[in-house]
Amino acid sequence: MSKRLGGEKDAEGSRCCIAAKRGGIKKIEESPMKELLLKIERTKASIRAKIEHPFHVIKNFFGYRKTRYKELAKNQAQLFSLFALANLVLSTRREGRADGVSAS
């Protein structure tokens, strides 16, 4: 049973899907089931990368590493503006107009 913060619950009938360990996948003998499992793991990794990339941009490109816990409204406003800027940076990269700017 997993621990939840603040009483969060999954939707009815859903389950949490975390990445399978590489050693466990290697132990499975070659079969259509292993190929299916590898495709599922690749899809989960792709989704995880798309979600985590804006956080990487905010931390490394804009230098946002610490929060001000006493001023939560200002934290929220700053994060909204940083995510908006991160979206602009990522969208210009997708269009090929990076202008020599790198988030890493």
Q: Provide the number of structural domains found in the chain.
A: 1
pLDDT at 1: 44
Helix (H, G, I), strand (E, B) or coil at 13: coil
Distance CA 19, CA 45 (A): 8
Q: Which of 90, 86, 5 is nearest to 78 (CA)?
A: 86
Q: 11 in a domain, yes or no? A: no
Q: Which two tokens stand for residue 54?
A: 């804006």
Say what the pTM is: 0.56
In a domain, 12, yes or no: no
pLDDT at site 50: 87
Calculate what percentage of the chain has a pLDDT beyond 90.
Answer: 3
Give the pLDDT confidence score for residue 14 in this predicted structure: 62
Better pLDDT: 98 or 84: 84
Q: Is residue 10 part of a domain?
A: no
Query: Is residue 38 in some structural domain?
Result: yes
Q: What is the mean pLDDT of residues 3-17?
A: 59
CB burial readout 16-28, b (16+ within 10 A) else e: eeeeeeeeeeeee
Instruction: Give the count of alpha carbons within 13 A of 66, CB side only.
Output: 2
Q: Would 66 be classed as within a structural domain?
A: yes
Residue 11, pLDDT score: 64
pLDDT tens-digit series, residues 42-92: 998 898 888 888 888 888 888 887 766 777 888 888 888 989 999 888 888
What is the spatial distance between Cα 53 and Cα 60, in angstroms, rounded to a whole number? 11
Q: Closest Cα partner for 57 from 98, 16, 25?
A: 98
Q: Which domain holds residue 58?
A: 22-94
